[in-house]
Amino acid sequence: MIDVHPSYSLTNNINVYCMNVLLLGSGGREHALAWKIRKSGLLNNLYIAPGNAGTATLGMNVTIGVTDFDAMKRFSLDHDIDMIVVGPEVPLVAGVYDYFHHDEDVCHIAVIGPSAEGARLEGSKDFAKKFMTANGIPTARFMTVTLDNVTEGNTFLDSLPSPYVLKADGLAAGKGVLIVDDLNEAKRLLREMLGGMFGIAGRTVVIEEFLSGIECSVFVLTDGKSYRILPVAKDYKRIGEGDTGPNTGGMGAVSPVSFADDAFMEKVRRLIVEPTIDGLRKERIEYRGFIFLGLISVEGEPKVIEYNVRLGDPETEAVLPLIRSDLLDLLVAAATETLDEKTLETDDRYAVTVMMVSGGYPESYENGKVIGGLDDVRDDCIVFHAGTKKAGDKILTSGGRVLSVTACGKTLDEALAASYENAGRISFEGCYCRKDIGSDLRRTQ
């Protein structure tokens, strides 16, 4: 059994018909979450900390940093918050769940996300690999290396075929993974990582066998006992078409994904999702929130590339528009361990989101460009704000990833055409988007 804190009442005292929700984060994922939560029949007030120009149209933005737990507590008490929905990983790794859960003034507030211990699935690659090994979950062979066992690390590299995968153990803002073709270069970079190339996050390095296949993102909502799997998505990480150039925070996403068919998803459920939830229970890790499985299909066999403890960005901007059920109702069920009583109803269409980014991103770029054409977008498309700021009656760019344009369609082609057509109606100086989102999946549709 999960070790429940004595003062925790499984949030039975949530006023579920009139909920005040505080959503943490400020990107496209959080705009999509705010958009979906706003539609809930259970919602009273929605607050977003710190939010963006998009979330401001759906609730009230509040200037609280996502790890300022004391300010969050004061705000929650002042505004009768019933639930905190956590968008990004940083507050989870920093222990937002535990902070609220173990404080008798605020332990009645449900926090959607894992405990800090559960968040280690994302916060430490070594922890995640050991968890997978202990629970028989398919993943790449690996070895964890510190300055104390570099020689063994080099011997492990010698035993692997090229390319070599080196991962900083800790959070490194999505930049901590190196994939290197040359063995000597891999050994050199291993020493540099251990020497502080990624700061403290890289003082421990996980060396992994390279897996070759096609990737997808699977999001699982769990109450710690039962679970629901959301529509599967694929994101596009590189800046350039054909998956070239540097990594970004994500240039677009598609859902569902043709190769993640029923047979594949049955394997995901049996080999990965259920052993993950059982493993959390066995290790007495409290987890009521989203688990993000970064999967790779190696000749039809799913393997875990990474765990994250939140929803993906920009996948959320494609996945949430395909969910028909009331999301807040599902989140209450996750918080109160009643998810087995709920069904997750989904739309059988395709959704595509195309990210519009600032010229120069992911390297240097300028902020403050006026965004035009937002009112010209068709009503059945949704423009999620990722990096924007309101200035008077204008909306300005305020980040590398600026807007995520989502459209649905009966076919992938229809969704792609609508998303690109509407993205074309929006403009700002220097704006760029990849033109090939979903094109790899069109061939196998």
Which stretches of the chain bind ligand GLY, using CB under 6 A?
Answer: 235, 250, 308, 312-313, 315
C-alpha torsion sign, points 325, 331, 332, 334? positive
Choosing among ligand GLY, ligand AMP, none, which partner's interface includes residue 313 (Cβ < 5 to 8 Å by kind)?
A: ligand GLY
Bin 199: left if φ > 0, else alpha if -120 < ψ < 50, else beta.
left
Nearer to ligand AMP, 293 or 418 (CB): 293
Residue 177's alpha-carbon distances to 217, 247, 295, in angstroms, are: 17, 10, 16
Say how far apart CA 38 and CA 16 lie, in whole Å: 14
Nearest approach, Cβ of 146 to ligand GLY (angstroms)? 25
Contact 225, 337 (CB under 8 A): yes
Nearest approach, Cβ of 53 to ligand AMP (angstroms)? 29
Choosing among ligand AMP, ligand GLY, none, which partner's interface includes residue 208 (Cβ < 5 to 8 Å by kind)?
A: ligand AMP
Choosing among ligand GLY, ligand AMP, none, which partner's interface includes residue 308 (Cβ < 5 to 8 Å by kind)?
A: ligand GLY
- Binding span for ligand AMP by CB under 6 A among 66-74, 190-198, 209-217, 423-431: 209-217
Indicate the residue type of 227.
Y
For 224-378, where are the E strands, in sequence order? 227-229, 234-235, 238-240, 244-247, 252-255, 287-298, 301-308, 350-357
- Binding span for ligand AMP by CB under 6 A among 40-48, 183-191, 205-213, 313-321: 205-213
Using CB under 6 A, which of 305, 354, 405, 412 touches ligand AMP?
305
Sole residue written with tokens 């891999």: 186
Report the site for ligand AMP in 121-160 (rule: CB under 6 A): 140
Say how far apart CA 306 and CA 128 lie, in whole Å: 8
Nearest approach, Cβ of 440 to ligand GLY (angstroms)? 16
By beta-carbon distance, which residue lies closest to ligand GLY? Answer: 312
Nearest approach, Cβ of 294 to ligand AMP (angstroms)? 5
Nearest approach, Cβ of 160 to ligand GLY (angstroms)? 25
Choosing among ligand AMP, ligand GLY, none, which partner's interface includes residue 434 (Cβ < 5 to 8 Å by kind)?
A: none
Sequence-ordered list of residues with C-beta below 8 angstroms from that of 101, at least 6 positions apart, any chain: 5, 8, 107, 111, 115, 286
User: What are the b/e assignments for 221-249, b being 16+ CB within 10 Å?
Assistant: bbbbbbbbbbbbbbbbebbeeeeeeeebb
Nearest approach, Cβ of 193 to ligand GLY (angstroms)? 20
Say how far apart CA 95 and CA 246 lie, in whole Å: 31
Residue 177 is a binding residue for ligand AMP (CB under 6 A): yes
Residue 407's alpha-carbon distances to 355, 356, 412, 421, in angstroms, are: 12, 14, 10, 10
- Binding span for ligand AMP by CB under 6 A among 34-42, 88-96, 206-214, 274-282: 206-214
Binding site residues, ligand AMP, CB under 6 A: 140, 165, 167, 177, 208, 210-211, 215, 294, 305-306
